[in-house]
Structure 1
């Protein structure tokens, strides 16, 4: 298995509190990986550490064999990394159409509207007037429209109906990129799209394996 990016013995601290305790976390290339865990587990911190939006107190981030631990987030973005965070993932003062045009480097926003036809009637609306689920559809569209080779998403299904969330996971699983999704639960749609699951608990990786091995409680947990 070729590894796209990995955390090695990664530690992250927020003041006196340590959020990641020497985590090893490999992400296979060209696949969808899930970082699973409840609030406070460290899943979002691990995602941010990969993206470079939080610094490591110890350990390293290795991307395609190169140590990028000290590479700032904007440089990782230029290298082909796209991060869709849980909050502030869209430009609220811009319209839906403007948000999509910014994400589409070649100007073609068609793939996003094909994936989420619900956005078509909202093209002239400001993004900050959308519902939570609509904003998540718009945010995920960034990943669908970008030419990034590594796409990181924090709770892409948040606020979406079960049907739209399942469609989202299927779309992410079909991207020609390495995808990492941080979620609280593992619904069937996400389990079907994923290749590897890393479960985090209290800043530690407590399980790494295939989705079917992740344990029944996660499949029934509510988002």
Structure 2
């Protein structure tokens, strides 16, 4: 599989603490990559390093053969990267429609509303008044509406019901992009959907497993 973006010997420090210990992490084009691990494992930091919201203390971020380590997060976004964080992923003071409009200025929210029909009646509501699950659907909808080549989502199904969680993975896997998600545990049913899936398990800032979902579940 062609590598879309990757971390090469990446180290990230938060003050005196090192969160990533020189990891290599390849993200294939057109595939779903799942980063799993407990809190503190480094999975969220790996996403942030790819997105450019935390700097590397050493190592590189390489995107289609180009070293983009020095590019700021907004510059990576312009190049086609969409990052959906686990917290503060929507603008509370804006309506649902205004939040979606940041991704598609032409106002065509069809893909978002078709993906999550529950958002349709909420377009005029302020995002801060939504439930946690509704806010998560709104946040993930940014990725659905974008034309990003790389989509990074931290805890995509946080606060969602099992049917909504399953629907979220269907939508993410249908994107024409390299999709990377961070989860504490391996989501169920990954072997049943379309397209390749790669799993990396992180532990204390290191990658301890890389392979297919069935291998990790065993």
Q: TM-score scaled by structure 2?
A: 0.96
The alpha carbon displacement at 1:104 in A equals 1.6
**Residue matched to 2:147:** 147
SS of equivalent to 2:97:
helix
Q: CA RMSD in A?
A: 1.1
**Residue matched to 1:220:** none
2:30–2:176 contact (8 Å) kept in structure 1: yes
For residues 106 and 92 of structure 1, what CA distance do their matches in structure 2 show? 21
Distance 1:65 1:105, change over 3 A: farther
Unaligned runs of 5+ in 1: 217-223
**Residue matched to 1:183:** 183
The alpha carbon displacement at 1:187 in A equals 2.2
For residues 59 and 40 of structure 2, what CA distance do their matches in structure 1 show? 20
1:90–1:138 contact (8 Å) kept in structure 2: yes
SS of equivalent to 1:181:
strand
For residues 158 and 55 of structure 2, what CA distance do their matches in structure 1 show? 26
**Residue matched to 2:82:** 82
- 1:196 corresponds, among 183, 195, 198, to 198
Number of residue equivalences: 216
1:212 and 2:214 matched: yes
The alpha carbon displacement at 1:122 in A equals 1.1
The alpha carbon displacement at 1:105 in A equals 4.3
The alpha carbon displacement at 1:191 in A equals 5.1
Alignment of 1:20-169 (within 5 A): 20-169=20-169
SS of equivalent to 2:133:
helix
- 189-198 vs 179-188, greater mean Cα deviation: 189-198
Unaligned runs of 5+ in 2: none
1:69-124 Cα distance to aligned partner (Å, 9 max, x none): 11111100000000000011111100111111221244310110001011112111
For residues 181 and 156 of structure 1, what CA distance do their matches in structure 2 show? 7
Distance 1:168 1:2, change over 3 A: same
The alpha carbon displacement at 1:215 in A equals 2.3
| Structure 1 outlier segments of 4+, above 6 Å | none
SS of equivalent to 1:148:
coil
For residues 146 and 103 of structure 1, what CA distance do their matches in structure 2 show? 6
Q: TM-score scaled by structure 1?
A: 0.94
The alpha carbon displacement at 1:188 in A equals 1.5
